[in-house]
Amino acid sequence: MADQFPTLKNPPIVEAVVDIDCDLPPGLKIEALEKLGREAYHKEYPITETRYLLQHELQAKRNEPPKTSTSENVNAYLFLREDKKQLVQVRTDGFSFNRLTPYSTLDDYLDEVKRTWQLFVNFAKPVQVRAVRLRYINQIKVLLTDGLADLDDYLRIGPKLPHEETLILIGFLDQHMALEKDTSNFVQTTLTSKNQPPDTLVVIFDITVWKEERSQPDDWPKIVSTIQSLRNLKDKTFYNTLSPKCLQQYQ
């Protein structure tokens, strides 16, 4: 049974992503999916963008000067709504659904995730699903007093200084990765500071949860069951990282 957590009226989510990694048919080129993606998504997602992957290769041989080469290949096609707050990605290794702020709750988007995924299955013909992943990027605002922040008021876990009486925290990057024993779900959290306005420290709280599991692309009940399991782990991580005082500003 999933744990119950309160629904925040104004969640600090900047972007939420559902990734479904899958194997495409052997020999299929990503470029072949641009036209098919446009035809499938154009009504709701009329804007198309191309994302490229830039690769640098260095070859070094004894007694010869090193040789470098650069290649640029299509990594994904993005299909966006007019307001660019929601988009679908057709990637070389799968499918993604992105929702930017304002974000309400996953329940409001699951039907659209299902619809756009099934369209992807129809035209891309993936062979199998390899993994499902959720990523939530949150932006937490911490008020400063005399230029200083008491992070313990906002975070239950997070960065600590070895000697707080003589040191002032001016930046941090705190990362953890764990395996949930009961489900074999993975979670990775990253807390990092961002350039701040005069009276506020902005903390980026990035949660990624995923499960590596093979399934059939047309088995939506299994995929959505995995999504819900990952969502529960994400919620547990979110609510056990932020303090009640921090959460109160989003209720």
- Residue 5, domain member (yes or no): no
Q: Does 143 reside within a domain?
A: yes
157 DSSP 8-state letter? S
Residue-wise pLDDT tens digits, 178-229: 999 999 999 999 999 886 667 788 999 999 999 999 999 999 999 999 999 9
Residue 8: inside a domain: no
Write the CA distances from 140 to 31, 32, 205, 242, integer angstroms.
39, 41, 7, 9
Q: What is the pLDDT of residues 94-139, one digit of tens each?
A: 999 999 999 999 999 999 999 999 999 999 999 999 999 999 999 9
Number of domains in the chain: 1
- What is the pTM for the complete model shown? 0.89
Residues forming a β-bridge with 187: 178, 209
| Cα Rg of the chain, angstroms | 21
**DSSP 3-state of 219:** coil
Helices (H), 191-241: 220-239
Q: Tell me if 121 is assigned to some domain.
A: yes
165 within domain boundaries: yes
pLDDT of residue 7: 84
**Residue 174: DSSP 8-state:** E
List pLDDT tens digits, range 63-99: 777 777 666 788 999 999 999 999 999 999 999 999 9
C-alpha 77, offset from chain centre:
17
Range of the domain at 48: 13-248
Phi-psi sector, 248: left (phi>0), alpha (psi -120 to 50), beta: alpha
Q: Would 7 be classed as within a structural domain?
A: no
Antiparallel, parallel or unpaired: β 47-59 and 67-80? antiparallel
- Burial (Cβ within 10 Å: 0-12, 13-18, ≥19) of residue 103: buried
Q: In this structure, is residue 78 part of a structural domain?
A: yes
